[in-house]
């Protein structure tokens, strides 16, 4: 991981926590290692990769991809489909808030972050045995540094 990628990861993770008020997942890469035996909302951020963007000379520009995971555990609720959909919509609303905050603040890294784009969310996954809803969003952050 590059120093710039590490800065972006750290700031994105902090932004997600601050924006949502959720608790960070102990394990983001392997969700099955988490214990979902208490109700609540959690989040994680995963580094997905980077591709070089052709921009200008004397600068190296990358499109860094990150996944943002949001989960909701509904242990004490016996939800029907409408209840589950309501929780899914709440998680999707959090993604919108995260994206707006990231775009407006450039993650507090305006000297290196050029653009934040492509915030796409997956279809919500319901894990009935854990009473868990998981949604993953992919975000692309374009950043540069001088050579």
What domains does the chain contain, in order, with CATH numbers?
3-146 (3.30.2000.30)
pLDDT for position 1: 56
pLDDT digits (tens, 9 = 90+) for 61-87: 889 999 999 999 886 667 788 888 898
DSSP 8-state code for residue 107: G
Q: What pTM was estimated for this model as a whole?
A: 0.89
Tokens coding 12: 């994105």
Q: Pick the residue with more confidence: 59 or 9?
A: 9
DSSP 8-state code for residue 122: P
DSSP 8-state code for residue 51: E
What value does the mean pLDDT of the chain take? 89
Burial of 34-73, coded b for 16+ CB within 10 Å and e otherwise, reads: bebeeeebbbbbbbeebeebeeeeeeebbbbbbbbbbbbb
């Amino acid at each position: 991981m590059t120093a710039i990628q590490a800065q972006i990861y750290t700031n994105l993770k902090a932004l997600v926590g601050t924006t949502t008020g959720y608790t960070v997942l102990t394990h983001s890469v392997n969700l099955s290692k988490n214990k979902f035996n208490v109700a609540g909302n959690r989040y994680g951020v995963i580094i997905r990769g980077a591709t070089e963007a052709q921009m200008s000379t004397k600068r190296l520009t990358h499109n860094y991809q990150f996944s943002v995971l949001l989960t909701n555990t509904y242990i004490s609720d016996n939800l029907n489909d409408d209840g589950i959909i309501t929780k899914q919509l709440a998680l999707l609303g959090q993604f919108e808030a995260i994206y707006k905050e990231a775009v407006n603040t450039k993650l507090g890294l305006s000297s290196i972050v050029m653009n934040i784009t492509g915030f796409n969310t997956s279809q919500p996954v319901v894990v009935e045995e854990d009473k868990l809803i998981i949604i993953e969003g992919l975000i692309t952050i374009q950043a540069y540094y001088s050579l």
